[in-house]
Amino acid sequence: MLKSSLLLAALLLPFCAANADEYKTDDLIVSNPWSQELPPNAPTVAAYFVIHNKGKYPDRLLSVDTPVAAKAELHEHVMQGDLMKMQRVPSVAVPAGGDLTFAPMAYHVMLLDLKDRSLLRDGQHFPLTLNFEKAGPVNVEVLVQKQPPMAGHEHMHAQ
Ligand SMILES: [Cu+2]
């Protein structure tokens, strides 16, 4: 019984990444929240994730909170002339039946006035709350890693 349900769970795993972290509401799945380890004197840290909306209605990410920083903002990167600049955005739409990707050089969560740097080291996790207009708050654990995860990385099979 236990064995067969474990097998079923394994078969149902979407992309068999060994450390795929997913956080779900009825309609939203927030997957693989991560942050790149930065030097200890870095003034700000960014966090990334992908939000999948499997519902019929759009939602909106309104704000984020974390205990590791006094301020957490939603940012986007935009071209200004020849320069890539980032700027704060008030909220970000999550399309119905679509994905919203937070990634380097795109939308990101910017953490300012860092309070607890002990959790910002390779291999650590820190909590982040995503506040959605409809889905409400979703709590995720952001994995800090030295190397950014590769986009479209190879499947990791049983070890
Ligand atoms: Cu930023």
Asked, for residue 79, whether it belongs to a domain, the answer is yes
What is the chain's mean pLDDT, rounded?
87
Give me ligand 1 centre to Cα 106, in Å.
9
Predicted structure pTM score: 0.81
Asked, for residue 108, whether it belongs to a domain, the answer is yes
Give me ligand 1 centre to Cα 108, in Å.
6
Give me ligand 1 centre to Cα 86, in Å.
5
Whether 15 has a pLDDT exceeding 90, the answer reads no
In this predicted model, which residue has the larger pLDDT, 21 or 35? 35
Range of 98's domain?
20-145
Asked, for residue 87, whether it belongs to a domain, the answer is yes
List the CATH number of the domain containing 92: 2.60.40.1890
Asked, for residue 39, whether it belongs to a domain, the answer is yes
Give me ligand 1 centre to Cα 73, in Å.
8
> Which are the contacts of 42, defined by CB distance < 8 A and separation ≥ 6?
none
Q: Which of 1-10, 21-30, 39-48 has the lowest mean pLDDT?
A: 1-10
| 125-140: pLDDT as tens digits | 999 999 999 999 999 9
For the chain, what is the domain count?
A: 1
pLDDT score at 89: 98
Asked, for residue 138, whether it belongs to a domain, the answer is yes
| 141-154: pLDDT as tens digits | 999 999 888 654 44
Asked, for residue 112, whether it belongs to a domain, the answer is yes
